[in-house]
Amino acid sequence: MANAKFNRLKNRVAAEYRRKGFSAKRAAYIGRATAGKVAREKRAKR
């Protein structure tokens, strides 16, 4: 379940950056980094 949420957030962020004109590779990198940051913040609150 957590992996699905991570992937969903990663893809949503990447799509947003693709619309802003970033390359697919750069948008995917930003999506992974953003989703990772959110996941680490959630884990730290526990």
Alpha helices in the chain (DSSP H): 2-19, 24-45
Residues ≥6 apart with Cβ < 8 Å to 9: 31, 34, 35, 38
Model pTM?
Answer: 0.85
pLDDT of residue 45: 76
Q: What are the tens digits of pLDDT across the range 2-46? A: 799 999 999 999 999 999 999 999 999 999 999 999 999 988 877
Name the token pair of 33: 């980094």
pLDDT of residue 2: 74
Contact call for residues 42 and 20 (beta carbons, < 8 A): no
Nearest to 10 by CA among 35, 27, 40: 35
